[in-house]
Structure 1
Amino acid sequence: MDLLRRAAVKLALGEQPTEDLPMIAALAVADGLDSQSLIELAGLSRRDPPADIRDLFMQTMAELGLSVPGVEEAWRERMLEAAEGMLSGSLTHYEASSEIYWCACHLDRTDTANELVNLFMGLWSNWEDWPDGRASIERDMRVAAADLLHSQGKPLPE
């Protein structure tokens, strides 16, 4: 997930400080992204009015053709990012399973979401409760993370 998309996901979840958006925009410009509003956003100060910063961020995303997710979509993206993190090794099995469980708890209460909550809560809990069985539990976590990505049409990380 690129820098701006990650900021948009965090913004949807109420976790992105608005005053950090100008610096994120500056980093995006440094990475080679270019649009009029992105450059304007990068030039704002942390002390500019939060509503102005947020509005310019939304305009920037639209100019760049990047969508800003709703809350449900943001939780789902964060959950899939955790599954990818487990399989790529950027997150531990324990961290990723906990994150997937937490994100699934915030999804609309469907049978699929309930199954995810139960599956990853069980794996996460078993990992804590049975230290001698962690190797087997971690294999089950990897299988569950791969199945989750597959069910969402996402490729497995290399």
Structure 2
Amino acid sequence: MDRLQHSAWQYVAETLPPEELPMLAAHALADGRDSPALRKLAGLPRRSDPVEVRELYVLALRELGIPLPDEETAGRCLLVSLAFGLAKGELSPKNVADRLSMTVAARTREETRFLSAAADYSEWIPPDELLGWENDLITAAHALAAATDLGPDVGEPGARPA
């Protein structure tokens, strides 16, 4: 999956800040993608008007024939991405809980179990219960990573596409 296709779900899931979009566009140009809006977006400074940046990003995707997923699909990609990140040891259980700020709908039993375990986090969990919560979340992450139909190439949220 190329970086622009990968970024589409991150954009809808609101895990891709607008200030990263000009550099993403520049990398896409270097990868051989090209469109008028992509060139314009790549030329913008990092601190450009977020509304203009978002409009150019969406236009560039449209010009390149890359569809934006619906919110449910983007949310599922976020869940899977977090599960893979936790299963690989690249994210901590607390990182996962902190990154689930958007409303996410689970479609499968494994997604529901992972989302439910993540939602059980509270900063007031007593220390003697914290390890149990972490183990439950890690177990749910491994189950989701093994069972998902979305695959491991959804990437890690917050990670810059290679």
Mark yes or no: TM-score above 0.5: yes
Can you list the C-alpha shifts for 1:79-132, whole angstroms capped at 9, x where unaligned?
211111101111013322x157x36x713487957654433334x359942448
The answer as to whether partners of 1:25 and 1:42 remain within 8 angstroms in 2 is: yes
Within the alignment, does 1:83 sit opposite 2:88 as a pair? no
**Is 2:13–2:75's contact at 8 Å kept on the other side of the alignment?**
yes
Instruction: State which of 103, 106, 128 in structure 1 corresponds to 2:103.
Output: 106
Letter in 2 for 1:50: V
Sort the Cα spacing of 1:15 and 1:94 in 2 relative to 1 into closer, same or farther, 3 A: closer
The number of residue pairs the alignment matches comes to 150
> Which structure features the higher share of helix residues?
1
Aligned letter for 1:26?
Answer: A
**How far apart, in 2, do the equivalents of 1:156 and 1:18 lie?**
24
Structure 1 residues 153, 47: closer, same or farther in 2, change over 3 A?
Answer: closer
Name 1:67's counterpart in structure 2. Answer: 67
Q: Could you say what secondary structure the match of 1:33 adopts?
A: coil
Kindly indicate whether residue 143 of structure 2 is the aligned counterpart of residue 147 of structure 1. yes
The answer (yes or no) to whether the contact 2:113–2:140 under 8 Å persists in 1 is no
Structure having greater relative contact order (Cα 8 Å, sep ≥ 6): 2
Structure 1, unaligned stretches of length 5 or more?
A: none
Corresponding residue number in structure 1 for 2:51: 50
Query: What do the CA deviations read for 1:24-68 (whole angstroms, capped 9, x no partner)?
Result: 2113333x23212323431245547934x4343223223444331
Of all paired residues, the percent bearing the same amino acid is: 27
Larger Rg: 1
Counterparts in 2 of 1:2 and 1:92: CA distance versus 1, 3 Å: farther
Contact 1:87 1:156 in 2 (8 A): no
Question: Please, which runs of 5 or more residues in structure 2 have no aligned partner?
Answer: 154-162
Taking only aligned residues, the RMSD between alpha carbons, in angstroms, comes to 3.9
Return the alpha-carbon distance in structure 1 between the equivalents of residues 135 and 106 of structure 2.
Answer: 27
Task: Please state if 1:36 is matched with 2:35.
Answer: yes
What is the TM-score when the length of structure 2 is the normalising length? 0.63
